[in-house]
Structure 1
Amino acid sequence: MKKIASILIVFCLFSCGASKSGSELPGKRALKGTWEVTNISFIGAEGIYKAFLFDAADSACFKGSEWVFIPNNASGRFTTNVSNSSCSIVNYRIIWSFFESDNVKSFQFKYADERNRPQSKDKSGYRATINELAKTNMTITVPSTFEGKSFNVVMKFNKKSDNLNL
């Protein structure tokens, strides 16, 4: 009888453990699909901001950009928007992942070649803080500087579809 009671107590301890906190990152599948950057804003001291994001293009060119995330191999791409004459089309393949440290949730990526191998020899990449991630929307904050002043670029994404066309 004591053995059965011990087994039941151990079972209860493991099955009634603390539930996962809401602060944990959702799985990669939350990003599956095609997304569009619908808004870009700046946070920092008052002034005029100029941001060249991800060593690819001016921040204005990212509004309306299309991002594709494929969770099963953590690959994807983004293509900038050409809604104004100062932007040219930029199309990059990426390898992406989530990162969490000290309760800060991040989205990170590196540029990749057609075989999904990192292009950078020094293994460098880009990281942005995830402010919100849901089934149909995501908001990230990208740290930036202009003329020696630090500020943040906030990018809001909306999911367009579950399509995964690279």
Structure 2
Amino acid sequence: MMKNSIVLFVCALVLTSCSISKDVREQRKTINGNWVLENVGYEGSEGSFKSMLFNDANGFCFEGSTWYFLENNSTGSYTIPTSNSVCAGGVRNIRWSVLESESGNDKLQFKYIDEKKKDLYGRTGYRLEILSLSASQMTLKSDVNVDGSPVSVVYNFTKQ
């Protein structure tokens, strides 16, 4: 009888350590669906910036991009419009999750995957701080350095 109790305790411990918090589960449900990246802005420094976002394209190429997040299998994609000859338009497949933060805002993280859902670049990915999230709006932020000075890239999304 004691042996069965120990086995049940260990199983319960493993299950609870692998589960995600209620807050993260709610954020994932809210993020689930189609979004449009309306605006990419910069904070923390004056002037104009030419930025390469996510090792993919210039910041202005992402404005108007559509993002799809599927909560039940943590996959999705974003599509950069082909309306500009400077931007390499098309679909990029991603695997995403929400990383809970004990000291501040949670983070949306993603990495690139292929059509068979295999990682493209190993463990390389991106983390964006979730500044605000509602049923219709999402604002994310990533911090970078430009010539030794901190600059924040702010992404404003609208849910479709």
Both structures adopt the same fold (TM-score exceeding 0.5): yes
Q: Which runs of 4+ in 1 moved over 6 A?
A: none
C-alpha contact 2:81 2:89 (8 A) present in aligned 1: yes
Amino acid corresponding to residue 134 of structure 1 in structure 2: S
Give per-residue Cα distances to partners, 1:96-146, cap 9 Å, x unaligned: 00012212211000101112222122x120000011111111000122334
Question: Using the alignment, how far apart are the partners of 1:81 and 1:144 within structure 2?
Answer: 25
- Bigger Rg, which one: 1
SS of the aligned residue for 1:96 comes to: strand
Match of 2:121 in 1: 120
TM-score, normalised relative to structure 2: 0.78
In structure 1, list runs of 5 or more residues that go unmatched: 1-23, 161-166
| Counterpart for residue 100 of structure 1 | 100
Q: Which residue of 1 aligns with 2:154?
A: 154
In structure 1, what is the equivalent of residue 31 of structure 2? 31
User: Contact (CA 8 Å) 1:50, 1:146: kept in 2 or not?
Assistant: no
> Aligned partners of 2:92 and 2:148: how far apart in 1?
28
Q: For residue 132 of structure 1, what is the aligned residue in structure 2?
A: 132
SS of the residue corresponding to residue 27 of structure 1 reads: helix
CA distance in 1, matches of 2:84, 2:115: 29
Please give the root-mean-square deviation of Cα atoms over the aligned residues, in Å.
1.6
Paired residues, number? 136
Cα 1:97–1:81 change in 2 (3 A) is same
Identity of aligned residues (%): 35
| In 2, Cα distance between equivalents of 1:45 and 1:100 | 28
Q: TM-score under structure 1 normalisation?
A: 0.75
